Amino acid sequence: MSRLRYMTRTLVGPWGAVVVAGLEIANLMQRGRPWRGELVWTVDWLGIVFFAAGPVLAGLSAVDAARITRTESLPVLMVSPQPWRAYLHAVAWTAGPASILHLLAFAAAIAMGWPEVASSSVGWGMVGLALLAQVSQFWWYAALGSVLGRFLSPVAAGLMGAVGGLGAFYLLGSGEGFELLAVGGSTVSRLGLTWNGGYLGLQSTLLIGTSMVMIVVIGGMRGRRPRRDGVVAVGILMAVVVAMLFGPQRRILAMEPDPPTECFWGDPVVCVYPEHGRIADTVYAAVYEAVDAARQNGYGFLVSEYVHEVSRAYFPQDADTKGVGTDQLLSGQEWDDFDLIWDLVTPWHCPEIRDVTAPSDIYFESMEALVFTWLTLLDEPADPQIADLPEDLLEERRLDPAQARETKASLDTCDF
């Protein structure tokens, strides 16, 4: 305990833990926690904190490094055979607590998503690798700050370290292909996707390698073997460049497109993914409400035999199965009638609707006519466009059963 007290009094880096703790809590509480139950999404969501945590840790670490270099520790450094130890020590007290907090946040997130999260088919080894790639980034940002701080006064070091961290986040964290600082940070479901193990492995290796270069090699330049250290530094930096050019290009890969398995065996059969068990009842209720409205008004032919929740990899493969996307429900919002019925009418089995080029206008006109018709059949249309429409206009735009049957049949042929 006295060691912790000593460190928090002599270094500013450990105080970064307070910032990281706040960020982790805020991140776990925001936007209705839609990631609960999904393993890949849970870890990727945790990556959101790096935008703020990375630059702040880099800034704090820069202040410590500037102090170590400029002030009272300098004589100690000069006589030490390993002058980088002081820098490593400061970086460890900056990134270490942050890493522990990040893993605690992961444990809390798993607890929030339990027991659904256990049904994921992604291996825990892969989860560990993804977490390693994230945690290594705390060390990388702290090491970056440490390097910058060595060349700056303590006054300028903090702001410049933070700006440097932001610059690195911008330059090395986005774009196509291999990115050293990619963290995930997805705000939409990742069901049906898994990580690329080769990507994460290379990323972690290079993050740790470059961090060591920044701490040990650049920190030890005053030591006895500057030439050998320089060769190591150049070698690792070249490895980063080569990896960015020729390394694995995709961090996330599509899994086998498996259909959902948690089903309500009514008519139609409605299935959701076990990871989304917490919204299953809401999905069943909403689908059957829409289905009942269609059947009671003589539009039962619009209803398919099966309704499946879709994922990032799986879409229904035949005209008898319709799909529903659940992003709104996952984030705790009401399911929009329009979106639900649009999904129930969509010919998901037609690959043309997912083409890069949008389907023709005829497709959208048919879809809109059918969706409008179905919306008018609901007991209480929540859609204001329908609710406020005069009765005569409503009748005019609504397809009669024969027209609706014909429109649906033409959509299901995938001929747009």
Footprint on this chain of other proteins (rule: CB under 8 A):
12, 19, 22-23, 26-27, 30-31, 48, 51-52, 55-56, 59-60, 63, 67, 72, 153-159, 162, 166, 169-171, 173-174, 182-183, 185, 187
Residue 337 C-beta: closest distance to other proteins, Å: 19
Q: Give the DSSP letter of residue 258.
A: P
Closer by beta carbon to other proteins, 130 or else 341: 130
Contact 95/54 with Cβ under 8 angstroms? Answer: no
Q: Give the DSSP letter of residue 13.
A: G
Residue 241 C-beta: closest distance to other proteins, Å: 19
Cα distances (angstroms) measured from residue 35 to each of 42, 271, 302: 5, 19, 32
Residue 316 C-beta: closest distance to other proteins, Å: 29
Say whether 316 sits in a helix, a strand or coil: coil
Closer by beta carbon to other proteins, 128 or else 167: 167
Closer by beta carbon to other proteins, 72 or else 391: 72
Residue 357 C-beta: closest distance to other proteins, Å: 25
Closer by beta carbon to other proteins, 56 or else 367: 56
Residue 158 C-beta: closest distance to other proteins, Å: 5
Closer by beta carbon to other proteins, 30 or else 403: 30
- Kindly provide the b/e burial profile for residues 332-342, where b requires at least 16 CB atoms within 10 angstroms of the residue's own CB: eeebebbbbbb
Residue 391 C-beta: closest distance to other proteins, Å: 32
**What is the Cα–Cα distance from 53 to 159, expressed in whole angstroms?**
14
Closer by beta carbon to other proteins, 10 or else 410: 10
SS (H, E, C) 171-211: HHCCCCCCCCCCCCCCCCCCCCEEECHHHHHHHHHHHHHHH
Residue 333 C-beta: closest distance to other proteins, Å: 9
Who contacts 112 (Cβ-Cβ below 8 Å, separation ≥6)?
A: 28, 33, 36
| Omega of the bond leading into 316 within 30 degrees of 0 (cis) | no
Who contacts 345 (Cβ-Cβ below 8 Å, separation ≥6)?
A: 302, 322, 367, 370, 371, 374, 408, 411
Contact 185/114 with Cβ under 8 angstroms? Answer: no
Closer by beta carbon to other proteins, 12 or else 86: 12
